[in-house]
Amino acid sequence: MNAEQHAMKHAAAPHISLAAYLGSAGLVLAMLAGIVEALAGPGSRMGWWYFRTGFTIFTWAGIGGAAAAVISLIGAIGARPAGHRGAFYSALAGVVIGLLIAAIPWAWMRTAERVPKIHDITTDTANPPQFEAILPLRKDASNSSAYGGQAIAAQQQAAYPDIKPVVLPIAAATAFDRALIAARNMGWRIVSTDPAAGRIEATATTFWFGFTDDIVVRITPAPGGSRIDMRSESRVGLSDMGTNAARIRKLMHKLEMASIIDPKWNG
């Protein structure tokens, strides 16, 4: 090795060391941000902190993921020209993981911007199904069980024009049985059933943060069969991020399509 090569080697060493450090630091930060982000919801669900605190943790974890991606990218740029493959791939992993961690809160924020800040969705905004058996379970809920009226109805109709009652070409008693089976298959906890009144009341728990939403399904006779209405309301939070509308769509679509495809469908 001549003197010039020797000097270049020693000059590159600090460069490689810094790149390796940045790559490793970015990867570690990305992994820590991922752990924190993953715990934000379960921590709220298990009562470790209030759900709004969980949202704050979730948001800052996403910021941490973005920072990790930037740090790792700098490390990757520094490591690649120097030929330090281990540092480069470590930094590349930090970029990918960091971006994934940052993307989840970003997607949530995008959803929050698109959907209205409402948490009570129904197929019948003029005469929404009313909660009865569930009311004692809502005694600590921050959201009222009373429907918000035309202001809420207008926002729902603008955002979710497809949320409408479903009319099935079957008797109300049969529709009630099918709706009950479908509700159980969707994982709802059935609180009360009243076949004579055509009423099903249930609760559903969201996956990550464990929010409890209350549901009432109303089945009434209609010309040519039966009409199914549904209402789904969150107990806490101003916006439901579209969860209640999605839940109503799922049940209605399941009942409607199954009735068309298989009249003898049993859930």
CATH number of the domain bearing residue 195: 3.30.530.50
CB 73 within 8 A of CB 4: no
Q: What's the pLDDT band for 9 if we cut at 50, 70, 90? A: very low
SS3 88: helix
Provide the strand spans (E) within the chain: 120-122, 166-168, 189-194, 199-205, 212-222, 225-234
What does the pLDDT average to over 7-30?
A: 69
Are residues 20 and 109 both part of a single domain?
yes
CB 28 within 8 A of CB 60: no
What is the per-residue pLDDT for 37? 96
As a whole number of angstroms, the distance between CA 91 and CA 155 comes to 46
Asked if residue 266 is part of any domain, the answer here is no
pLDDT tens by residue, 81-106: 556 677 888 899 999 999 999 999 99
Are residues 71 and 133 both part of a single domain?
no
Beta bridge partners of 199: 194, 218
Residue 130 has pLDDT above 90, yes or no: yes
Range with top average pLDDT, 5-19, 68-82, 242-256:
242-256
Please measure the distance between the N-terminal and C-terminal CA atoms of the chain and give it in whole angstroms.
77
As a whole number of angstroms, the distance between CA 82 and CA 78 comes to 7
Residue 79 has pLDDT above 50, yes or no: yes
Are residues 152 and 67 both part of a single domain?
no
CB 121 within 8 A of CB 244: yes
As a whole number of angstroms, the distance between CA 143 and CA 158 comes to 22
Contacts within 8 Å (CB) and 24+ apart, 4-11: none
Are residues 145 and 98 both part of a single domain?
no
Are residues 168 and 253 both part of a single domain?
yes
What is the per-residue pLDDT for 8? 44
What does the pLDDT average to over 110-116?
A: 91
As a whole number of angstroms, the distance between CA 85 and CA 233 comes to 53
Distance of CA 251 to the CA centre of its chain: 17
Contacts within 8 Å (CB) and 24+ apart, 72-75: 72/22, 72/23, 72/26, 72/27, 72/30, 72/98, 73/26, 74/22, 74/26, 75/19, 75/20, 75/21, 75/22, 75/23, 75/24, 75/25, 75/26
Are residues 153 and 256 both part of a single domain?
yes
Asked if residue 213 is part of any domain, the answer here is yes
User: Which range (2-11, 17-26, 160-169, 200-209) has the least confidence?
Assistant: 2-11
What does the pLDDT average to over 109-132?
A: 95
Q: What's the pLDDT band for 264 if we cut at 50, 70, 90? A: low
Q: Say which DSSP state 138 is in.
A: G
pLDDT tens by residue, 162-171: 999 999 999 9
Are residues 178 and 205 both part of a single domain?
yes
Asked if residue 267 is part of any domain, the answer here is no
b/e sequence 194-209, b meaning 16+ C-beta within 10 Å:
eeeebbbbbbbebeeb
Are residues 101 and 135 both part of a single domain?
no
Where in the sequence is the domain holding 180, given as residue range(s)? Answer: 120-261
Are residues 164 and 104 both part of a single domain?
no
pLDDT tens by residue, 210-228: 899 999 999 999 998 999 9
What does the pLDDT average to over 230-258?
A: 93
